[in-house]
Structure 1
Amino acid sequence: MSSPAFQIRSRIPRFAEGAVERARLTVVPRRRTTAGRAPFLALVSMVLLGGVVGLLLFNTSMQQASFASTALEQQSTRLAAREQSLSMDLDRLRDPQRIAEAALRLGMVQACSPAFLQLGSGKVTGAPCSDPNPLRVNPNPPAKPAILNPRTKIVRVPANSSADTASGNADRAGRDGKKKNR
């Protein structure tokens, strides 16, 4: 009554035992191999050399970026100054007094109350400009306050002869010397 599955199970350990008996294992001495130092040194030196070259290239690119930044800042400063100069020129050209003077030089007159011409009848309504004193283009400068314009005060010093002055200085020096000696 042995089943075929039981027979297969019982055979497997026998085959394994036979294989173990047939195998003759012996201890082999370890072979000590040292890795060559040259490849390791080459690898380390290449990594160090690559790092130094990388840092050098990085530093160089940073300096170039710094120079470019400085050049752009200088250009920005120049352009800002140019913009301010052009703005001042534009303000000067837009000055109403300058425009009025240019209009007067071209023969233009100031506008007064309008006069209308009726085309059907040819009649003029309104008064044309007949004012001989138009508005001043350049107004008078403001009056200076009296406190800013004081009266001139002249002080006259009496004239002494040069001999009197020299003898007076000598007498004064002698008196000063006597005071010091006391």
Structure 2
Amino acid sequence: MSSPAYQIRSRIPRFAEDAIERARLTVVPNRRTTTSRAPFLALVSMVLLGGVVGLLLFNTSMQQASFATTALEQQSTRLAAREQGLAMDLDRLRDPQRIAAAAQRLGMVQACSPAFLQLGTGKVTGAPCADSTPLRIYERAPAKPASLNPKPIIKHVVAPPASTTSTNSSGDTGAANAGRAAGDGKKKNQ
């Protein structure tokens, strides 16, 4: 039978052959792993949809704010006009001439001099009276200066002497033509 050394030698090539077979590389077919694009597309779609909805809501809120601003500006204009009207009414009511006219309608008169009552003695000093001259409420209109009111200047124009009547080809008389010419001259001078 064989010796143990021979057996060892015969085993070594077998181990080597097995190692060579194990070490041999083989081509493995490529496996393409196709991940689904649906989650990515869904994410992009949601971001775009959210952006569009956000812009729409922002635009709507800006339009509402613009309408509110316009309404407030119109209200401010109306209130300013009302304030100005009320201020004009107040100025008219505070007019001293209006107050004096209302007092005269009520029968009030202007006092000429006051009377004083001494409380200890009960004596009246001074003579109270109502002024009989009417109070002038409105001023008189100023007189027109003489330079603005000149005397009229009157000029007498002498009519031209009547000439002989002659007819022309149109059948008009010469005097009528002279009168028309004089009238046209006056119109041009004016």
Q: TM-score range by the shorter chain?
A: 0.5 to 0.7
Alpha-carbon distance between aligned partners in 1 of 2:149 and 2:173, rounded to the nearest angstrom: 41
Greater relative CO (CA pairs within 8 A, separation 6+): 1
Q: Which whole-Å CA distance do the structure 1 matches of 2:54 and 2:179 have between them? A: 86
CA distance in 2, matches of 1:100, 1:50: 75
Partner deviation per Cα, 1:3-56 (whole Å, 9 max, x = no partner): xxxxxxxxxxxxxxxxxxxxxxxxxx9975343111111110111111111111
The answer on whether the counterparts of 2:111 and 2:130 sit within 8 Å (CA) in structure 1 is no
- Pairing 1:167–2:177 present: yes
Cα distance, 1:30–1:105 mapped onto 2, change above 3 Å: same
Aligned partner of 1:100 in structure 2 is 100
Q: TM-score, normalised by structure 2?
A: 0.61
Q: What is the distance in 2 between the residues matched to 1:88 and 1:148? A: 35
Q: Identify the residue that residue 10 of structure 1 maps to in structure 2.
A: none
Which of these two proteins has the greater Rg computed from alpha carbons?
2
Higher helix share: 1
Cross-structure match for 2:88: 88
- Over the residues paired in the alignment, what is the CA RMSD in angstroms? 3.3
What 5-or-longer segments of structure 2 have no aligned partner?
1-28, 161-171, 182-190
Give the match for residue 11 of structure 1.
none
Stretch moving more, 43-52 or 113-122: 113-122
Between 144-153 and 105-114, the greater mean CA deviation after superposition: 144-153
Counterpart CA distance in 2 for 1:139 and 1:80 is 34
AA at the equivalent of 1:167: N
Partners in 2 of 1:58 and 1:139 — Cα distance? 66
When residues 36 and 147 of structure 1 are mapped into structure 2, their CA distance, relative to the original with a 3 A threshold, is farther
Any residues of structure 2 matched to 1:105-144 within 5 Å, and which? 105-118=105-118, 122-144=122-144
How many pairs were matched up?
A: 143
User: Structure 1 length normalisation: TM-score?
Assistant: 0.63
Runs of 5+ in structure 1 lacking a partner?
1-28, 172-182
